[in-house]
Amino acid sequence: MENNKAQVADALTWVVATLIIVIILIVFITITNILVKTKNIERFVIGIFSGDGDGGIEKVDIKTAMALEKNGQNRENIENWVKNAGP
Amino acid sequence: MDKTISIYWFAILILVAVAIVYMISAFYGAPYDVREIEASLISNRAADCISQKGELNSFLFGENGELAGFNNDFEERCKITLEVENIWTEPQYYIYLGVFRVGDTNRPIYFYETGNLNLIASCEAQQEKEFENLAKCAEKRFYSIHEGEQYLIKILSAVRKTEKNVK
B101-136 pLDDT, tens digit each:
988 888 999 999 999 999 988 888 887 777 778 888
Contacts for A36-39: CB closer than 8 Å, 24+ residues apart:
A36/B26, A36/B27, A36/B30, A36/B167, A39/B27, A39/B30, A39/B32, A39/B33
B73 and B108 fall within a common domain: yes
Domain residues for B96?
Answer: 34-165
Q: Tell me if the pTM is above 0.90.
A: no
Domain residues for A62?
Answer: 47-87
B149 and B89 fall within a common domain: yes
Report chain B residues whose CB lies below 8 A from the CB of A32: 23, 26-27
A52 and A81 fall within a common domain: yes
- The ipTM is 0.76
B88 and B14 fall within a common domain: no
A51 and A87 fall within a common domain: yes
Which of B18, B52, B141 should we substitute to test contact with A (largest number of A Cβ atoms within 10 Å)? B141
Does the structure show a pLDDT above 70 at A53?
Answer: no
A73-85 pLDDT, tens digit each:
889 999 899 888 7
Report chain A residues whose CB lies below 8 A from the CB of B43: 60
pLDDT band at A49 (very low <50, low <70, confident <90, very high): low
B3 and B39 fall within a common domain: no
Contact map slice: B 98-157 vs A, CB within 8 A: 102, 105, 123, 126-127, 130, 137-145, 148, 150, 152, 154, 156
Averaged over B5-22, what is the pLDDT?
A: 90
**Averaged pLDDT score across all residues of chain A:** 77
A36 and A60 fall within a common domain: no
Question: SS in 3 state form for A32-72?
Answer: HHHHHHCCCCHHHCHHHHCCCCCCCCCCHHHHHHHHHHHCC
Count: domains in chain B: 2
B84 and B4 fall within a common domain: no
Count: domains in chain A: 2
